[in-house]
Amino acid sequence: MECGANHQVQSNHQNRRRRNHQQGAPESFGIASSNRARVDAALKTLPADAEGHAVDLASETAIAALFAGLGGFDHLVYTAGENLQLANLDKLDMDWARGFFGVRYWGAFAAVKHAAPHIRPGGSITLTSGLAATRPHAGWSVASSICGAMEGLTRALAVELAPIRVNIVSPGVVKSPLWDAMPVAEREALYAGMADKLLLRHVGEPHELAESYLYLMKQTYGTGQVIGVDGGGALV
Ligand SMILES: NC(=O)c1ccc[n+]([C@@H]2O[C@H](COP(=O)([O-])OP(=O)(O)OC[C@H]3O[C@@H](n4cnc5c(N)ncnc54)[C@H](OP(=O)(O)O)[C@@H]3O)[C@@H](O)[C@H]2O)c1
């Protein structure tokens, strides 16, 4: 989860603020995930004024405390989710299936609930779905349900929270740590097979997805929209 927050920039970063503002980029930002060490590692790759928060996004109490402490900001981006797990119906445990909605769906829901009052005029919320909403495979019933629910939620929030813009990015396969639970050889075979099939002949890189989130923060006339970024995966 990332928050673009103008107010947190300190005075010795005024020049970068001005430059970023001219380029339409957020002037400063904060990130949150559940693991302090990973937050700290990510901060090392970000500008010095970026803020990092270790927050369990499965906990509404923790989410409420995070946003109460942040104050006003402009853009909320929600991408959190545990490593992907898939199961066919006959092997699927119902408690696990319900629980898998915890971070991806209910965490996003709670983040929007507690963030929205702090979002400044002109601000936006960008959520995350996935190609599985419309192109599921066997074993994807839970993941596909979450993606579909997220897209419906986005449209409902766009209506309820207007004029805050609420949109959602729907990625196809992207080379991110999401796939880390898969053995390396299996993962590389998956990427190679995908690259062969996709219209754009490569599996997505995180920076290619980041462009879509940035676009949805910067644009000013789209709300309730699903932006597919999948190498053409929806068409093959
Ligand atoms: N990568 C793909 O191929 C792909 C395709 C379609 C859709 N998506 C969707 O895109 C979204 C982002 O995926 P990604 O590829 O960026 O995955 P990722 O690299 O695994 O990132 C997910 C992030 O969620 C955080 N997280 C997990 N549980 C958390 C919790 N309880 N509280 C706070 N943070 C938590 C993780 O950090 P910590 O472990 O530090 O908490 C991690 O930084 C997910 O919803 C995913 O389903 C991804």
Q: Which of 28, 129, 170, 212 is catalytic?
A: 129
Domain that holds residue 180: 2-235
As given in the structure block, the two tokens for residue 189 are 């075979």
What pLDDT, on the 0 to 100 scale, is given for residue 180? 87
Among 159, 153, 113, CA closest to 129: 153
pLDDT of residue 16: 42
CATH number at 72 reads 3.40.50.720
Q: Total domain count for the chain?
A: 1
51-54 and 226-229 as β-strands: parallel, antiparallel, unpaired? unpaired
> Given ligand 1 and candidates 176, 205, 226, which is best to mutate, with the most ligand atoms within 8 Å of its CB?
176
Residue nearest to atom 40 of ligand 1 (CA): 35
170 is catalytic: no
Place of tokens 């390396």: 184
Reference 117, options 61, 57, 62, 71; nearest CA is 71
Q: Which residues lie closer than 8 Å to 190 by C-beta, 6 or more apart? A: 173, 179, 182
Q: Is the pLDDT of residue 17 over 60?
A: no
Q: Compute the C-alpha angle 47/31/146, nearest 5°.
A: 140
Distance of CA 181 to the CA centre of its chain: 19
1-12 residue pLDDT tens: 787 643 332 223
Question: What's the pLDDT at 29?
Answer: 87
Burial label for 100, CB within 10 Å (0-12, 13-18, 19+), is buried
Which residue's alpha carbon is nearest to atom 14 within ligand 1? 178
In DSSP terms, 206 is beta-bridged to none
Q: What is the distance in A from the centroid of ligand 1 to the CA of 103?
A: 9
What is the mean pLDDT of the segment spanning 206-214? Answer: 97
Residues 211-235: tens digit of each pLDDT? 999 999 999 999 999 999 999 999 9
| Cα–Cα distance list, 16 to 45, 46, 134 (Å) | 16, 13, 41
Ligand 1 in reach of 177 Cβ (< 6 A): yes
pLDDT higher than threshold 90 for residue 84:
no
In the block, which residue shows the tokens 């805050």?
164
Integer angstrom CA distances of residue 200 from 205, 206, 236: 12, 15, 11
* Reported confidence tier of residue 85, pLDDT bands at 50, 70, 90: confident
Q: In 10 A of CB 154, how many CB atoms?
A: 25
Q: Enter the tokens of residue 167.
A: 């949109």
